[in-house]
A = this chain, B = another copy of it.
Amino acid sequence: MGISLGTNQYGKAENRVVRVVRDTARHEIRDLNVSTSLRGDFTDAHVGGDQGAVLPTDTQKNTAFAYAKDHATGPIEDYALALANHFVADVGGVSSARVAIEEYAWRRIDVGGRGHDHSFVRSGESVRSTIVTVDEADSWVVSGVSGLVIAKTTGSEFRGFMTDEYTTLAEADDRILATSLVARWRYADASVDWDATHAGVVDALLETFATKHSLALQHSLYAMGEAVLERYPAVAEIRFSAPNKHHFAVDVERFGVQNNGEVFIAADRPYGLIEATVQRDDAPDAGDAWRAVPGFC
């Protein structure tokens, strides 16, 4: 009848894997959210209901936990690659696997000036993530950071924009610029030091946001991406999704109070939403790296 199955994938989402490293009395904690998905020819499972080629999502969950013992002690990129490689190499009929991991950071509780051996407080500053895709011939690593809420209270303007009959916005020569950043970058090279590179990319984003005089959120984002690509040759491209978290000056002059750029209301909705990619011109092809990645693709 001319109807058929198109693109599809399936897996177990949001396995909350917690791996405690207790080789010594000085424990470490790795607090992860692991999602797996498999692609292949699953036509029979959909059309006729025959599940013979389907490795259940429950089994994928078990595998994620079993692999956590050996693989979840280092960078999340390595754990994700190990899991994805296993699914492609060891499970019949799987042509491609994607493993996405979020990591929630914890810091040691300070006791008498020193971090405690086995007591921790969760740092909510941002979430580290990776999305790894592996097929029979290749693999791609897209790592990132989300929920990085940043603001600058001056050094930001927005002027000279296009106007039309619906324009009411005034030009701003000194405004608050704030966003809750999601950044994802694709590695061209899988031999990097994942942890050091991740930390360095986040540092480059923060420093550039802080020091770049901003003519628009787009202008800041481009500079931030450029800084990352300049410092890290292993990064092929970086993509941003950045809500412009508006802070509107409140008209307190009506009440005899001078505002002078000091009293704002933080608005919820609507918000500007800027999505942009900064890329290296000679980067290898993205292949399947961005397929179905939430956000810009």
Contacts and interface: CB of A to CB of B under 8 A. Distances in A.
B19 A152 contact: no
Interface in A207-251: 207, 209-211, 214-216, 218-219, 221-222, 225-226, 229-230, 237, 239, 243-244, 247, 250
Nearest to A238: B6
A158 interface: yes
A11 to B, nearest CB: 6
B118 A154 contact: yes
A120 B209 CA distance: 9
Contacts of A116: 210-211
Given A12-B270, A69-B259, 12 more contacts: A3-B281, A8-B275, A10-B218, A13-B270, A51-B160, A65-B263, A119-B211, A122-B149, A123-B124, A268-B268, A275-B292, A292-B295
B255 A54 contact: no
B10 A282 contact: no
A40 to B, nearest CB: 11
Contact of A206 (B12, B109, B296): B109
A65 B252 contact: yes
Contacts of A203: 110
Given A37-B273, A261-B20, A55 B162 contact: yes
Given A46-B219, A120-B152, A149-B121, A52 B160 contact: yes
Interface in A3-47: 3-22, 27, 29, 31, 35, 37, 42, 45-47
Contacts of A124: 123-126, 147, 149
Interface stretch (A74-82, A130-138, A165-173, A190-198): A165-173
Given A3-B278, A161-B54, A276-B8, A255 B109 contact: no
Contacts of A163: 59
A61 B167 CA distance: 10
A228 to B, nearest CB: 10
